[in-house]
Copies of this chain bind each other. A is one copy, B any other.
Amino acid sequence: MKNLKGRAVFAQSGGPTAVINASIAGGLIEALKQDAITDVLCSLHGIKGVLTEDFVDIGKEDEAELLALKNTPASAFGSVRYKLKDFNVDDTDYKRVLEVFKKYDVKYFFYNGGNDSMDTCDKISRFMEKEGYPINVIGIPKTIDNDLVGTDHCPGYGSAAKYIATTLAETRLDAVIYESPLVIVLEIMGRNAGWLTASAALSSLTGYDADLIYLPEVPFSIEKFKKDVKAVVDKNRVCVVAVSEGVKTAEGKYVGEDASATDVFGHSALGGVCGVLKSAVKSMGIKCKAIELNILQRCAAHCGSLTDIEESFESGRQAVLHAVNGETDKMIAFKRASGKDYKIECVGLDLNSIANAEKMIPLNWITADGVGLTQEFIDYALPLIQGEPNARKENGLPSYAKLKMIPFKL
């Protein structure tokens, strides 16, 4: 809807990334400049802060600290695990959101998150439209999983991919120093889509890469895994494996689940898959180190991609520009220009076309042996990890954004 004037509310939701704060920073700074936006508010803990009227007044923050959000990992305004019901089934929450939007004269709502958050965003937008409440709702995407459809890639993926590729190279350098056989298993996030695990292939550019990459897109067999490992160890002594937490057998059973069922110490969440693979390697009489990258891969802002940071910032900024320009029920997506040079453009994509869908790695980007990525993947992912973060430092450590977090009161 064009020519809306009123307050803007931003919120963050879902698992954090190294750059989700860069996205919201881009949005907040742009919103502060817009005449159509009278006050800029952040809701605490996603949609929950709207329900409870927990807002922060961004107008009281220093711009330098908002800019420092570009290099501050995780969600500065909190997150929430809360999925709104279908409003045709239960519209209690929606009515409350509408009540709060009316009370605070909210005319712009920006939701910064992954798949579920885009779904929330879409539902709120449609409910408000149904109720005839004038508001522009735009989703600002983030997910290290890179599994949102309709966008070339997702803010957050490039930084996680850079951390994974860098860490894998360092790990390989560490692994090769002795003369005895050694297998390293790196367990990487991504329950259904293999984008993150695939980023291990980027380490080949350093000369120190993974020998075997197991993606959730390819059915996993422990017997084939053992054969693969044996072949590499016989040839090269050292074998570095990147495996997705989400690899499944041909029967569709998560490989990591086997472990959790029988592990007396409740180690299940402590790297189900890498524990299982380590046991398999040890049963072959070969030394194995299993490393679960865990949340490190999603919060390692110190090894972020400048490209990812700047694109994330821009996606937040574009969300505001699109909203002020009258768009609603959209997510900001990246469209990659064709041609040799990497260039992206931000476009508004219908939210209902993306919510609740997942983008997998194209099967023709996976090598015939099922344990590697083709040049097409490298060409796709390499531009996303370029550039160093150039973060503010103090005492030899990151100097994170220091926000005042002053509550907004009517």
Contacts and interface: CB of A to CB of B under 8 A. Distances in A.
A126 interface: no
A246 interface: no
Interface in A127-150: none
A174 to B, nearest CB: 4
Contact of A296 (B80, B171, B382): B171
Contact of A266 (B171, B173, B282): B282
A375 B270 CA distance: 34
Contact of A279 (B175, B206, B266, B300): B266
A266 to B, nearest CB: 5
Interface stretch (A28-36, A98-106, A162-170): A162-170
Nearest to A301: B170
Nearest to A274: B270
Give the interface size bracket for A toward B: 35 or more
A334 interface: no
Interface in A272-310: 274-276, 278-279, 282, 289-292, 294-296, 298-303, 305, 307
Ranked nearest first, the 3 interchain pairs of A and B with the lowest CB-CB distance are: A74-B173, A174-B299, A386-B396
Interface of A: 16, 45, 48, 72-75, 78-81, 162, 165-167, 169-171, 173-179, 202-203, 205-208, 259, 262-267, 269-271, 274-276, 278-279, 282, 289-292, 294-296, 298-303, 305, 307, 382, 385-388, 393-400, 402
